[in-house]
Amino acid sequence: MHRYLRTLARFWSASLAAEMEYPANFVLELLAEVGNLAGSLFVLSLLYGPGQSLGGWSWNAALVVLGFYTLLEGLTSTLFQPNLSTIVTHVQNGTLDFVLLKPIDSQFWLSVRTFSPWGLPGMAMGVGLILVAALRAGAVLGPGTVAAAAVLLLASAAILYSLWFVIAATSIWFVKVWNATEVLRSTLVAGRYPVSVYPAGLRAFFTFVLPVAFLTTVPAEAVLGRASGSWMAASVVVAAACLVISRAIWRYALRFYTSASS
Amino acid sequence: MTAPREPRARAVWPLVRVLLSTQYAYMLEYRAEIALWALSGVLPLIMLGVWSGSGAGEAAGFTPAMLTRYFLAAFVVRQFTVVWVIHVFEEDNLQGRLSPYLLQPLHPFWRYLAAHVAEQVTRVPFVAALLALLFLLQPSLLWWPQRADVFWGVLATVAAFILRFLLQGVIAMACFWSERALALERLLLIPYLFLSGLVAPLETFPPGVRAFALATPFPYTVAFPARVLMGAEVNLGAGFLGLALWSGLFLILFLVLWRAGIRRYSAMGA
C-alpha cells in the first residue's frame, strides 16, 4: 500500500511538471469551464419559469445537482479521461506489453498514471456551487451530513470511474473505442438535472441501466439532508459492484490480449 | 507556393464522383464507429426529457407536442450538421500530409468536404434506426411533417452544415499559426451549444439574450432548420438570407486566411 502511494506521488508530480510547460492551457481551460457553467446555469434558469419547480426540486436544490455534475466533470478531465484514453493508444500501438511487465498492478498503473491539473478549476467551481447552493437551500451542514455526502461522492466517483474503465478496457477486443467514450460522455450530460425531472422510462434507464441517478442526484440529496437510507445504501452497493465488475472485466480482457499485430 | 489551381469545368464531374465514392467506401469501413457517433448525438433527446418535465415550455407557448417535434427535429438537424474538419486538418498539418495535398490541383478542403458528405450518407440508416426505435418505444412521438416542410427543412439543414463547415474551416486556419487551434474550437463549442437552440428553443430565452443570440450565426445552424422541419411558422426568406450572409462572410475570411496561411506554411519549409 505504501509503495502504491509513493508511486502515485511520483506519477502526479511528474505529470504536473510536464503540464506546467503549457501555462496558456490554464487560461483556456478556465474560460471553457466558466463558459460551460454559465451556459448550464442559463439553461437551468430557463427551465425554472417564475415560481416553478423542476421535478419537485427548488432552484437552489437543483443547483446542488449541477454542482455535483461540475465537480465530477472536473474529475473526469483531471483523472479519468487522460488516463483511460491512453489505454486505447497502448492497445493500438502494442505498448500495453510494457505496462503488463511492470512490477505493479496494471489497472492501477493505467488508471492513475497521469494527472491533468486543468480540470481542477472545474472541480473547485463545483464544490463552491454545492456549498453556496446548499446553504441557500437552507441545508444544515452538520458533521453527519458532510460525512454522508463525502461517502456518496466517493461512491459516485467510483461508479463514474468504473464506467470509463470498462469502456476503455473493451479496447482489447474492439481496439477503436474512443467513440464509445463519447457516447458515454454525451449521455452523462443527463446528470446535470435531478433524475426526477425525466419521464418514468428515462428515469428507470438512468437509475438501473446507466446509473446517472447515483452520480449526482443521490449525493445532492445527502447534502440537502433528505437522502433516504435505502438510496444511500443502494449507492454504496452499486459503487462496490461497479468496482468489482471493472476489476473482473479487466482480468477477463487480459486473457484475450495477445499484443499488437495479432 | 501559389494556391492550387482549380480543375477545369470539364473535369469536375468525374472528380466529384471519384472523391465521393472513395470517401464513401472509406466511411463504410468505419460504419460501426459512425453508429456510435450517431448515438453520441442524443443531447436534444435528453433535453426533450428535461423540457417535458418543466412547465417553462408551455409558458413560452410550446405545447408538449411542439416540444417533442422541436427536439426531434433538432436531433435530426444536429446529426447531419456534424463537422470535424478542424481535427483532420490539424492532424494533416502536424503529420506533414498537407504538403502532398497541396501539390495536387485540388484545394484540400474539397477532400474534407467530400469526407463529410460521405459520412452523412453512411449515417442515414443509423439515424433512421434510432428514430424508428424511438417511435417504437413511444408511438405518441410519431408525426409526419408536410412535404414542403421536409423540402425546405432539408435545404436549411444542408445550408446549416455548409455554414458550420465554413466556420470551423476559418478556425482551422489558426493551425497555420498556432498549435492550440483545437482549444479555440473548444471555446467556440460553448456558444454553439447554448445559443444554437440545441438545448433550449430560442422562444424560451429572455428577449435580450434572444436578440443577442439572433445576432450570432449559431441559431441558423440548429434552431432555424429545426423550426422549418417541425412545421412552425418561420420566415424562410430571412432564415436563408442569414445563412447565406454568414456563410459568405466565413467563406471570404477562410479564403483570405488560407492564402496568408499557405504563404507562411511554405515559408517555414515545413
Residue B251 CA to residue B243 CA, distance in Å, equals 12
Domain hosting residue B188, numbered range: 42-100+134-268
Handedness of CA B128, B130, B132, B134 (dihedral sign): negative
Cβ neighbourhood burial of A181 (10 Å; 0-12, 13-18, 19+): buried
pLDDT at residue B270, as a whole number: 44
Instruction: Please report, for residues A46, A125, A187, B47, B109, the alpha-carbon distance to residue A147 in angstroms, rounded to integers and kept in the order given.
Output: 33, 20, 29, 33, 56
Question: B259: which DSSP letter?
Answer: H
Residue A143 CA to residue A141 CA, distance in Å, equals 7
Cβ neighbourhood burial of A80 (10 Å; 0-12, 13-18, 19+): buried
Phi, psi at residue A133, to the nearest 5°?
Answer: -65, -40
> Which of A206-210, A224-228, B167-171 is the most confident on average?
B167-171
What residues of B are in the A interface, CB distance below 8 Å?
Answer: 33, 36-37, 39-43, 46, 49-56, 59, 137-138, 180, 183, 186-187, 190-191, 193-194, 199-200, 204-205, 209
What size, in residues, is chain A? 262
Instruction: Using alpha carbons only, give the angle A59, A62, A64 rounded to the nearest 5 degrees.
Output: 115
Would you say residue A176 has pLDDT above 80? no
Q: How far is A60 from chain B (nearest CA, A)?
A: 16
Question: Is residue B261 one of the residues assigned to a domain?
Answer: yes
pLDDT bracket for residue B186 (50, 70, 90): confident
Cβ neighbourhood burial of A261 (10 Å; 0-12, 13-18, 19+): exposed
pLDDT tens for residues A40-85?
Answer: 999 999 988 766 778 888 899 999 999 999 999 999 989 988 888 8
pLDDT tens for residues B40-75?
Answer: 888 999 999 999 888 788 888 888 888 999 999 999
pLDDT at residue B266, as a whole number: 67
B60's grid cell: 413560452
- Biggest CA–CA distance in chain A, Å, is 62
A246-255, B133-142, B193-202: which has the minimum mean pLDDT?
B133-142
pLDDT at residue A242, as a whole number: 94
* Number of domains comprising chain B: 1
Instruction: Please report, for residues A237, B44, B103, the alpha-carbon distance to residue B192 in angstroms, rounded to integers and kept in the order given.
Output: 39, 13, 35
If we measure between CA atoms, which residue out of A208, A176, A215, A259 comes closest to residue A69?
A215
Which chain A residue has its CA at the smallest distance from B188's CA?
Answer: A32
Residue A2 CA to residue A130 CA, distance in Å, equals 33
With a pLDDT cut of 70, the percent of chain A lying above it is 97
**CB proximity list for A106: less than 8 A, separation 6 or greater:** A99, A100, A250, A254
Question: What's the one-letter identity of residue A88?
Answer: V
pLDDT tens for residues A201-221?
Answer: 889 999 888 899 999 999 999
Would you say residue B267 has pLDDT above 50? yes
Residue B216 CA to residue B246 CA, distance in Å, equals 9
pTM: 0.89
Q: How many CB pairs under 8 A join A and B?
A: 85
Residues of B in contact with A52 (CB under 8 A): 54-56
pLDDT at residue B180, as a whole number: 75
Q: Which of A24, A28, A48 minimises the CB distance to B56?
A: A48
Question: Is residue B124 one of the residues assigned to a domain?
Answer: no
pLDDT tens for residues B111-122?
Answer: 899 999 999 998
Per-position b or e across A1-28, b if 16+ CB within 10 A of its CB: eeeeeebeeebbeebeeebeeeeebeeb
Would you say residue B268 has pLDDT above 70? no
pLDDT tens for residues A24-47?
Answer: 778 888 898 899 999 999 999 998
Helix (H, G, I), strand (E, B) or coil at B60: coil
Instruction: Using alpha carbons only, give the angle B127, B129, B130 rounded to the nearest 5 degrees.
Output: 65
pLDDT tens for residues B70-91?
Answer: 999 999 999 999 998 998 898 8
User: Among all chains, which residue has been given the C-alpha cell 499559426?
Assistant: B177
Q: Which of B50, B56, B183 minimises the CB distance to A193?
A: B50
pLDDT bracket for residue B8 (50, 70, 90): low
- Asked whether the beta carbons of A43 and B199 are under 8 A apart, the reply is yes
Residue to mutate among B29, B36, B45, B50, with most A CBs inside 10 A, is: B50
Question: Is residue B115 one of the residues assigned to a domain?
Answer: no
pLDDT at residue B38, as a whole number: 85
pLDDT at residue A191, as a whole number: 92
Span A137-156, mean pLDDT?
90
Residues of A in contact with B53 (CB under 8 A): 54-55, 196-199
Query: Is A39 close to B52, i.e. CB distance below 8 A?
Result: no
Residue A214 CA to residue A152 CA, distance in Å, equals 8
pLDDT bracket for residue B92 (50, 70, 90): confident
pLDDT at residue A109, as a whole number: 87
> Could you tell me how far CA B161 lies from the centroid of its own chain?
4
pLDDT bracket for residue B5 (50, 70, 90): low
Handedness of CA A55, A57, A60, A65 (dihedral sign): negative
Per residue, the 3-state secondary structure of A172-216, as one string, reads HHHCCCHHHHHHHHHHHHHHHCCHHHCCHHHHHHHHHHCCHHHHH
pLDDT at residue A124, as a whole number: 94
Question: Is residue B86 one of the residues assigned to a domain?
Answer: yes
Instruction: Please report, for residues A22, A241, B90, the alpha-carbon distance to residue B178 in angstroms, rounded to integers and kept in the order given.
Output: 13, 46, 10
Residue A11 CA to residue A5 CA, distance in Å, equals 10
Phi, psi at residue B241, to the nearest 5°?
Answer: -65, -45
